[in-house]
A and B are shown apart, each in its own frame.
Chain A
Amino acid sequence: MALADTRTGSGDPPKVSLLYNPAVRRGVFQVLTLVVIVWVIWYAWHNAAQNLARANMTAGFGFLNSRAGFDIAQSLIAYTSDSTYMRALQVGLINTLVVAAAGIVTATIVGLLIGTGRLSHNWLIARLCTVYVEIFRNIPPLLVIFFWYLGVLALLPSIRSIFQHLEEDPDAVFFISNRGIYMPAPVFGEGFGLVVAAFALGVVAAIAFTLWANARQRATGKRPPVARINLALILLPPLAVFLASGRPLSFDYPVPGSFNMRGGMVVGPEFLALYLALSLYTASFIAEIVRAGIRGVPGGQTEASYALGLRPRQATRLVVLPQALRIIIPPLTSQYLNLIKNSSLAVAVGYADLVAVGGTILNQSGRSVEIIAIWMLIYVSISLVTSLFMNWFNAKMALVER
């Protein structure tokens, strides 16, 4: 009977005052948030419209088709000061991607070396790697960029001393000066496309062979010498085609001009400073991530693989590394994203990346809203694409569970 008494309210919901009804409260909060957000946007929009009207300006992206009128020193696609703003922004985007890609590759390699070095049994190596990590992790990347640009690269020999050096040694083709590193540029002749095609074919063949070798190992337990055959498959066909087609490759050598070197390929000090700084700075963080990843794999795993008869290299490659990667990949992704975002520090040394080019356009045309919107859109998209790729890689590496 007592049980029935406590259940009397089960028919209709308990009466709660409106003030304490969770659903009502939630609704009120949401409406309030929405009102505040809409008001902020409206306020900013309204003021911006008024401010723009006072400055006799209109908003819109039409200006992107007008003439840029400024030069860009480092451009990988055809660009002159007569090109459009749009083209200038494309140059900037490509430069950003180039320095970010180069930085990511170098930072990963250096970080891997330093990170494993810190775990080395060799006392001296471990200490040196620790010192490296502790120095670079605790200094602003911008300062490292200035250090390379103003402190180191500016002290390299001047163009004039390169000219003097050339008089003494006319055969020299590779120069390091304070205006950059000069080297011969490859000029691809007719028929070089065939060499590239042969290379692509070799890569496809190598992948196919690896798949076949894996299947064979599973079936018979014997593994063909994959590494050697793959190397041959990738290198030999393009080499053969290259020789057969009459070596369609020549070099354009840098020669002294009136004030500067002409011809050849030049890597500017702006790019070098940014690239070195980004790589070395990010490498110190990647080193810590790698170290944490390797230490996160229990020692029993290595011992077990030795007990199964694997050699140390096999144990590392087949047992430790796949497990360490699972720990490493998520933080590594955020380091890659940081590097991409830090590449915007290019503006401090005048490397024409997206932010530097955009800044110039912003100063020239005063289109601040549009430029900043473009920046945000592009950086958010790059970040998204990188995250998606790394998430895919992470999912591929993840533990396969039932």
Chain B
Amino acid sequence: MAETTIYVRDRFLAPEAPPVSDSSVIGWMRRNLFASWSDGALTILAAAALAYFLPAAINWLFVSAVWTGADRTACLTVEQGGQLPAGWSGACWAYVGDRFVQFMFGSYPRDELWRPLTVVVLFVALLVPLLIPKVPRKGLNALLLLVALPIVSYVLLLGGWFGLRHVETSLWGGLMVTLIISFVGIAVSLPVGILLALGRRSEMPIVKTACIVFIELIRGVPLITVLFMASVLLPLFLTPGNNIDKFLRALIGVSIFASAYMAEVIRGGLQAIPKGQYEAADALGLNYFHKMTFIILPQALKLVIPGIVNTFIGMFKDTSLVTIISMYDLLGIVKASFGDSGWITPVTPLTGLIFAGFVFWIFCFSMSRYSAFVERRLDKSQTR
């Protein structure tokens, strides 16, 4: 016992050096860009690709782009009959500037442009408060936006009443048509989609079957075939001699299509509501209508707001398909302008498509950001 010596340290060790600071730029790069050999190789490859393509793209889009000019000669090289040096290539923004009003409103009479502009102002004035969660009176606001505004816009845009000149829908075009079609599609698809979703979950076999057949048939086929159906079959199925407006046909086609998709989104929300909510409503003695409008739908719709916004985004992109049934939405009118003899140059198509793509992108991106914002807000209300 006595022989065992117990080890006792009698001296302090010198302190170790502090860990290498990781907050420096080099430390950050080591962690995030060059964590391993393969990582470093990937980084260098990606950086090289960026260094190669990004300056070229910026140069094409902005530096050597043509910003002013009256016709195509502004965007042609010497050998093509213009004044630019040989081998030049760049965006022709002069063309977009020249055609801008057409891209926005189509062939809408130029002295009547205040009418679509008024609609735009009203639309923004009603939409913005609806999107800001803190602003009160959402119900009234939605009613104005979804019921009153369409009526006012219809009178204003089409004319023929109150001394307004009648403007045929064949003159409408550009972004205006894209927005009208997607807005009408959304405004129609919400109520119809709710009805279809309720019908699909109903216990009445005939109603249920009818809703399932409609939803699955429309969801199973491409939008183009639905548009063809609306534009070719609709006149055939109505009383002989009818002359149904082409624009209206496209609206009907898009609305049918959007309704089927909206129904499935809303059904997802209905399924997510716990059974107890239905039973509680029954226990309170509410009838079907009251049960749905006061208990189930408010919760279900709130749950699927992100899904609804995603359907909106999809619809907004899908409206570009009316180009194929020869209507002039934003994409259609940009594409039609490529054949315009005043602006035929090799760079016109690319410039026009980049412009149209940018406009579509702005709308869709802001909608998806808004959807993400709502999703975060809903999440917060779930976690107390």
Is A313 in the interface zone, CB < 8 Å from B?
no
Give the residue name and chain of the A residue nearest to B229 (CB). A372
- Contact residues, A110-158 vs B (CB, 8 A): 121-125, 128, 134-135, 137-143, 146-147, 150-152, 154-155
B206 at the interface (CB under 8 A from A): yes
Q: Is B321 an interface residue (CB 8 A)?
A: yes
A250 at the interface (CB under 8 A from B): no
Interface size class of B (residues with CB under 8 A): 35 or more
- Assess the A135–B228 pair: CB atoms within 8 A: no
- A34 to B207, alpha carbons, bound, how many Å? 8
A288 to B43 CA separation, bound complex (whole angstroms)? 22
**Do B35 and A33 touch (CB < 8 A)?**
no
- Are B33 and A369 in contact, with the CB atoms below 8 A? no
In the bound complex, do residue A44 and residue B220 qualify as a contact, i.e. CB atoms below 8 Å apart? no
A121 touches which of B35, B46, B356 (Cβ 8 Å): B35
Take A30-B207, A143-B357 as given contacts and tell me if A47 and B222 are in contact as well, using a CB distance cutoff of 8 Å: no
B239 and A150 contacting across the interface, CB-CB below 8 Å: no
Stretch at the interface among A65-73, A231-239, A256-264, A343-351: A343-351
Residues of A whose CB lies within 8 Å of any CB of B are: 26, 29-30, 33-34, 37, 43-44, 47-48, 50-52, 54, 121-125, 128, 134-135, 137-143, 146-147, 150-152, 154-155, 341-345, 347-348, 355, 359, 362, 368-369, 372, 375-376, 379-380, 383-384
* Contact status A47-B237, CB under 8 Å: yes
Tell me whether B204 is interfacial, beta carbon within 8 Å: yes
CA distance A379 to B221 in the complex (A): 5
Taking CB atoms and an 8 Å cut-off, the chain B residues in 31-62 that contact chain A are 31-33, 35, 39, 42-43, 46-47, 50
Question: What distance in Å separates the Cβ of A206 from its nearest Cβ neighbour in chain B?
Answer: 29
Q: Are A146 and B240 in contact (CB under 8 A)?
A: no
A-B contact sample (5 more), CB < 8 A, given A30-B204, A125-B42, A368-B233: A125-B43, A143-B357, A155-B350, A380-B216, A380-B217
Which residues of B (201-235) have their CB < 8 Å from a CB of A?
203-207, 210, 216-217, 219-225, 228-229, 232-233, 235
Shortest distance in angstroms between A37's beta carbon and chain B's nearest beta carbon? 6
Nearest residue (CB) in B for A26 is: B204
Complex Cα spacing A139 to B365, Å: 9
A50–B238 alpha-carbon span in the complex (Å): 10
Given A150-B349, A151-B353; A372-B232 close (CB under 8 Å): yes
Question: Which residue of chain A is the closest to B287 with respect to CB atoms?
Answer: A20
| A34: chain B residues within 8 A (beta carbon) | 206
What residues on B are CB-neighbors of A125 within 8 Å? Answer: 42-43, 46
Q: Does A344 lie within 8 Å of B236, measured CB to CB?
A: no
Complex Cα distance, B39 from A143, in Å, reads: 35
B-side contacts of A152, CB under 8 Å: 350
B225 partner, pick from A47, A141, A147, A344, beta carbons under 8 A? A344
B127 to chain A, nearest CB (A): 19
**Cross-interface CB contact of B220 among A29, A50, A359, A383, cutoff 8 Å:** A383
B207 and chain A: residue at smallest CB distance = A33
Q: Which residues of B contact A (CB under 8 A)?
A: 31-33, 35, 39, 42-43, 46-47, 50, 203-207, 210, 216-217, 219-225, 228-229, 232-233, 235-240, 313, 317-318, 320-321, 323-324, 331, 335, 338, 346, 349-350, 353-354, 356-357, 360-361, 364-365, 368
B346 contacts A121, CB within 8 Å? no
Q: B33 contacts which of A124, A344, A355 (Cβ < 8 Å)?
A: A124
Which chain B residues lie closer than 8 Å to A345 at the CB level? 224, 321, 324
Tell me the bound Cα distance from A54 to B241 in angstroms.
Answer: 10
B353: chain A residues at CB < 8 Å are 143, 146-147, 150-151
Report the bound CA distance from A123 to B368 in whole Å: 23
CB distance from B95 to the nearest CB of A (A): 14
> Hey, which chain A residues are within 8 Å of B338, CB to CB?
150
User: Among A37, A155, A376, which residue has its beta carbon within 8 angstroms of that of B346?
Assistant: A155
B195 to chain A, nearest CB (A): 11
Q: List 17 A-B contacts (CB under 8 A).
A: A125-B43, A135-B361, A141-B317, A142-B323, A143-B356, A147-B350, A147-B357, A150-B349, A150-B350, A152-B350, A341-B222, A341-B223, A344-B225, A348-B324, A368-B232, A368-B236, A372-B228
Q: A151 vs B352: C-alpha distance in the bound complex, in angstroms?
A: 9
> A33 contacts B237, CB within 8 Å?
no
Contact A376 B217 (CB under 8 A): yes
Q: Which 7 A-B pairs have the closest CB atoms?
A: A138-B364, A44-B237, A123-B32, A344-B222, A151-B350, A341-B222, A380-B220
* Residues B42 and A122 in contact, CB atoms below 8 Å apart: yes
- Which residues of B are found within 8 Å of A33, using beta-carbon distances? 204, 206-207, 210
